[in-house]
Amino acid sequence: MPATTAHNLLTDNPELYEARFPDPDRLAGRWTEDRLRRHGAGPRVLDMGCGTGRDAAHLHRAGRTVTGADLSEAMLAHARTHHPGPRYVRADLHRFDLGPERFDAVVCLDSALLYCHTNDQLDGFLASCRRALAPGGLLVAEMRNGAYFLGRTDLLDTPAVHAFTWQGTAYRSTTTLTVDRTAQLLRRTRVWTSDDEAEPVVQRSAWRLLFPQELRHLLTAHGFDVLELHDGPGPRTEPPWQEGLSPGTAADADRLHVVARLAAPR
Ligand SMILES: C[S@@+](CC[C@H](N)C(=O)[O-])C[C@H]1O[C@@H](n2cnc3c(N)ncnc32)[C@H](O)[C@@H]1O
C-alpha cells in the first residue's frame, strides 16, 4: 500500500523540483523581466510563492531589489543557499503583510496563485497585493487556465507519466487530474516511484480553476486595471515565449498570463 503524504514531495525536496521542472534558460525569469520592463515597473519586486528562488534570483541579476516569499521552509532554505541575492521570507499568499515596505511589482509564477483555492483566499491575496504595492504597482502572474478544461478532456483522460534521473536514482511520477466542479478545483494525485526500493509515495494537491473573465472581475474589484490577459506566448506555452514576441489576445489555451496595474485612488 503506497504511503500517502500530506506534505508536498516536490516543495519538500526543492532540488527534486528543479530536476523535474528544469528551466535552464531561465525562461520564466526572462519573461517576467520583459513584462516588468514593457510596463515600466520600478525596481522593487516581491515574488510570492517563489519556490526554489530561481526566478527571484534572475530578477535580482537583472538589477532589481527582490524579496522572495513562500510558505515552505524547505524551499526558502534552498533559495537562500542556491539562489542568493534576494531576501527570502516566509509568508502565506492567502493573506500577507510584509510591513511598511512597498513594492513596484508582485509576481506570482507557475500557478502559485492557484493555491488560493477559495474566494476568501483569492480576495485575501489581492487585498494583500494592494497593500504591498506602491501606487501604480504591477501584478504579473502566470498559471494554468481554467477555461482550457471547458469542453476539453485531453489532460484528464490519461495519467501523465514522467521519468527522470536525479542524483543517480531513476524517478517516475504518474499524475492524474480530476475536476471538482463544486469546489472549482483541479485535483491532482501524483504517485512517485523510484528504483531505489523506496515505497511509492502518493501526493495530493489542487489548483483553483480560475477563468479569465473571473480573474478580470476580481482584479477590477480590487482596484487593478488589467493590462494583459492572454494564453501566451509565455514561459510554459508551446511554442514558448521568446524575446520580441508580443502578447496574444485569446485566453483559450492551457496557460493564462496576466499583467495588472494598481489603479491610482480616485
Ligand atoms: C508550483 S510552485 C511554483 C514556484 C515558483 N514560483 C516557480 O515558478 O518555480 C508553487 C509554490 O507555491 C508555494 N505555496 C503553496 N501554497 C502557498 C501559500 N499558501 N503561500 C505561499 N506559498 C505557497 C509552494 O511552496 C511552492 O513553492
Taking residue 107's Cβ as centre, other Cβ atoms within 10 Å add up to 30
> Among 9, 11, 117, 204, which residue has the most ligand 1 atoms within 8 Å of its CB, making it the best to mutate?
11
- In tens, the pLDDT along 48-102 reads 999 999 999 999 999 999 999 999 999 999 999 999 999 999 999 999 999 999 9
Distance 205 CA to ligand 1 centre (A): 12
Q: Is the per-residue pLDDT at 7 higher than 90?
A: no
Residue partners of 93: CB distance under 8 A and separation at least 6: 48, 49, 69, 71, 108, 112, 113, 115, 116, 125, 128
The mean per-residue pLDDT over the stretch 158-173 comes to 88
92 lines ligand 1 (CB under 6 A): yes
In this prediction, residue 253 carries a pLDDT of: 98
Higher pLDDT pick, 107 / 15: 107
Of 3-7, 106-110, 254-258, the range with the lowest mean pLDDT is 3-7
Mean of pLDDT values over 159-164: 92
What is the tally of helices (H) and strands (E) in the chain?
A: 8, 12
Task: Report the Cα–Cα distance between both ends of the chain, in Å, rounded.
Answer: 59
The answer, yes or no, to whether any atom of ligand 1 lies below 6 A from the CB of 113, is no
Residue identifier of the C-alpha nearest atom 17 of ligand 1: 71
Q: Exposed/middle/buried for 201, CB within 10 Å: 0-12, 13-18, 19+?
A: middle
- Could you tell me which residue, 193 or 253, shows the higher pLDDT? 253
Give the model's pLDDT for residue 175. 94
DSSP string, 165-210: EETTEEEEEEEEEEEETTTTEEEEEEEEEETTSPPPEEEEEEEE--
Q: Is the dihedral of CA 26, 30, 32, 36 positive or negative?
A: positive
**pLDDT reported for residue 4:** 53
The predicted structure's pLDDT at residue 169: 84
Q: Please tell me if the CB atom of residue 49 comes closer than 6 angstroms to any atom of ligand 1.
A: yes
Mutate-to-test residue for ligand 1 from 10, 83, 93, 173, highest number of ligand atoms within 8 A of CB:
93
Helix (H, G, I), strand (E, B) or coil at 232: coil
Q: How high is the pLDDT of residue 1?
A: 46
| Predicted local distance difference test score (pLDDT) of residue 168 | 85
- Using CA atoms, how far apart are residues 263 and 266, in angstroms rounded to an integer? 8
Q: pTM for this structure?
A: 0.94
* Domains, the chain: 17-146+210-262 (3.40.50.150), 149-207 (3.30.1300.30)
Which residue would you say has higher pLDDT here, 77 or 201? 77
Tell how strand 65-70 and strand 133-144 pair up.
Answer: unpaired
Average pLDDT of the residues of the chain: 93
Q: What is the largest CA-CA distance in the chain?
A: 63
Check if 203 has its Cβ closer than 6 Å to any atom of ligand 1. no
Check pLDDT > 80 for residue 171: yes
